[in-house]
C-alpha cells in the first residue's frame, strides 16, 4: 500500500472535512501518498484527482460541508462507468480508496471492489444515522443540535401566541433525527417513519390536552412520516379544531450545514484514522464504524442490506416523557 485516495459522495454531512483531514494526515504519517477525488464517484470517472498534502487539510476541521465536494453519479451505477473509474485509479497507481457517504456510496464501493479487486473501505457520512454497523454516523450529532436550536426558537413564538407548531425535520426513511430532536426539545408528540402513529390517536390526545389545559405546542415530524408532512398535519388539525392556531415549519437543509460539533469532529477523526489503518492492514470491502466506543468493521453487504431502526425503548421513553 503506497498510494491511497479519499472521496465524499451522496449528501453532505458536517464532519466530512474532519474525516478527510484525518485520512490525509494519517496516510502521510504512514508514508503513503494521498489523493483527493473531487465530486465523488462522478469525479473519479472524470479523473478529477489531485495529490493532497498536510497543508491542504489545515484549518478545515471546523468547517461544514466537504472541501472535496460531493455529487451523485448515474454513470457509476453502470459497469462501464465503474470501469472508467477503475482505469483512473490505475492511471494514478492508487492502491486503496476511502469513501465517505451513506447507503448509495457503500453500494458503489461494493461493486467497485468486487468487479476490480480494489481495496475500498467506507466511512458512514450521513446526518440520518441510518447506517448499520455504527452507533452514530458523521453529521448526525450536528444535525440534531441544529434542529433542537431551531425548535427552541420556535417554542418562544409558540408559547407567546399559544400556537401549535408542527416542525418537520429530515428523515425520509429514518426517524433518528426526529426522535432525538423530539426528546432533546421536550416535544409533545413525535411522528416517525418506523412507527404507526395513528392520526386519530393524536387528535384524541389533543382533545385531552385541551380539556386539562395542557400546553400542547410542539410536534416533531420526520419528513418520511406515513401520516403526512408537517403542512398536511397542520391542515388536518385546523379542520378539526378551528380554534387552534396550527402552524408548520420545515427546517430542511439547515440540518446539513454548519460547523460540526465536538462529537462529530472526534468521531470523524477516529474513523478517518481507522480507515488508513484498515487499508494498511489489507482490510477491504467493509464499512468502519464505532460500536460501544470500539472500532467495528462491517461488510458492505451487511451495511447495505441490514436495517438500523431507532430503539423501541427510546421511542417508548419519548412517549412517556411527553405525557
Here the cell at position 261 is: 460539533
Residue 215: predicted pLDDT: 64
The per-residue pLDDT for 289 is 98
Say yes or no to pLDDT of 204 above 90: no
- Please give the CATH architecture assigned to the domain spanning 141-256: 3-Layer(aba) Sandwich (3.40)
- Is 310 a residue whose pLDDT tops 90? yes
Which pLDDT belongs to residue 60? Answer: 98
Q: What are phi and psi of 31, to 5 degrees?
A: 60, 30
Q: How far is CA 123 from CA 110, 208, 256, 270, in A?
A: 13, 46, 17, 10
DSSP 112: H
Confidence class for position 209, pLDDT limits 50, 70, 90: confident
pLDDT digits (tens, 9 = 90+) for 62-88: 999 999 999 989 999 999 999 999 999
pLDDT at 128: 96
Q: How far is CA 273 from the centre of its chain?
A: 19
Average the pLDDT over 220-231 and give the result: 92
SS3 186: coil
Q: What is the CATH number of domain 3-139+260-305?
A: 3.40.50.450
Q: Across the chain, what does the average pLDDT equal?
A: 94
What is the residue extent of each domain of the chain? 3-139+260-305, 141-256
Q: Active-site residue numbers?
A: 128
Task: Determine what percent of the chain falls in helix, strand and coil, rounding each to the nearest 5.
Answer: 45, 20, 35
Q: Is the pLDDT of residue 214 over 80?
A: no
Does pTM surpass 0.85?
yes
d(CA 13, CA 261): 12
- Reported as a single tens digit per residue, the pLDDT across 123-178 is 999 999 999 999 999 999 999 999 999 999 999 988 888 889 999 999 988 999 99
Question: What are 299-308's pLDDT values in tens digits?
Answer: 999 999 999 9
- The CA dihedral of 215, 218, 224, 226, to the nearest 10 degrees, is 10
Q: What pLDDT score does 195 carry?
A: 85
Which grid coordinates are listed for 10?
A: 451522496
Whether 7 and 43 have beta carbons less than 8 Å apart is answered as yes
| pLDDT for residue 260 | 98
pLDDT at 213: 63
Identical fold at 3-139+260-305 and 141-256? yes
For residue 205, what pLDDT is reported? 81
CA–CA distance, 315 with 141 (Å, rounded to integer)? 18
CA distance 304 to 114: 15
In this predicted structure, what is the pLDDT of residue 80? 97
Share of the chain above pLDDT 90, in %: 85
| Spatial distance between the Cα atoms of 284 and 116, rounded to a whole number of angstroms | 12
CB 12 within 8 A of CB 137: no
pLDDT (average), residues 102-121 = 96
Res 212: pLDDT: 65
Amino acid at each position: 500500500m503506497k498510494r491511497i485516495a479519499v472521496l465524499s459522495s451522496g449528501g453532505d454531512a458536517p464532519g466530512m472535512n474532519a474525516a478527510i483531514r484525518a485520512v490525509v494526515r494519517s496516510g502521510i504519517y504512514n508514508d503513503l501518498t494521498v489523493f483527493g477525488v473531487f465530486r465523488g464517484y462522478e469525479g473519479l470517472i472524470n479523473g478529477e484527482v489531485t495529490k493532497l498534502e498536510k497543508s491542504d487539510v489545515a484549518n478545515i476541521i471546523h468547517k461544514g460541508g466537504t472541501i472535496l465536494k460531493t455529487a451523485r453519479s448515474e454513470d457509476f451505477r453502470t459497469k462501464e462507468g465503474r470501469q472508467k473509474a477503475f482505469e483512473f485509479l490505475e492511471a494514478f497507481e492508487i492502491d486503496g480508496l476511502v469513501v465517505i457517504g451513506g447507503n448509495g456510496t457503500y453500494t458503489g464501493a461494493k461493486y467497485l471492489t468486487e468487479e476490480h479487486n480494489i481495496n475500498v473501505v467506507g466511512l458512514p457520512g450521513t446526518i440520518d444515522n441510518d447506517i448499520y454497523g455504527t452507533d452514530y454516523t458523521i453529521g448526525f450529532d450536528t444535525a440534531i443540535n441544529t434542529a433542537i436550536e431551531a425548535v427552541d426558537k420556535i417554542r418562544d413564538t409558540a408559547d407567546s401566541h399559544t400556537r401549535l407548531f408542527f416542525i418537520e425535520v429530515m428523515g425520509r426513511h429514518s426517524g433518528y433525527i426526529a426522535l432525538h430532536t423530539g426528546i432533546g426539545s421536550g416535544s409533545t408528540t413525535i411522528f416517525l417513519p418506523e412507527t404507526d402513529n395513528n392520526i386519530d390517536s393524536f387528535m384524541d390526545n389533543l382533545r385531552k390536552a385541551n380539556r386539562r389545559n395542557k400546553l400542547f405546542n410542539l410536534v416533531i415530524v420526520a419528513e418520511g412520516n406515513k401520516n403526512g408532512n408537517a403542512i398536511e398535519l397542520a391542515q388536518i388539525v385546523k379542520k378539526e379544531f378551528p380554534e387552534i392556531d396550527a402552524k408548520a415549519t420545515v427546517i430542511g437543509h439547515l440540518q446539513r450545514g454548519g460547523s460540526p460539533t465536538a462529537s462529530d469532529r472526534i468521531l470523524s477523526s477516529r474513523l478517518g484514522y481507522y480507515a488508513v489503518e484498515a487499508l494498511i492492514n489489507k482490510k477491504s470491502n467493509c464499512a468502519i464504524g464505532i460500536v460501544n466506543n470500539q472500532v467495528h468493521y462491517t461488510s458492505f453487504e451487511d451495511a447495505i442490506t441490514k436495517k438500523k431502526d431507532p430503539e423501541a425503548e427510546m421511542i417508548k421513553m419519548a412517549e412517556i416523557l411527553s405525557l
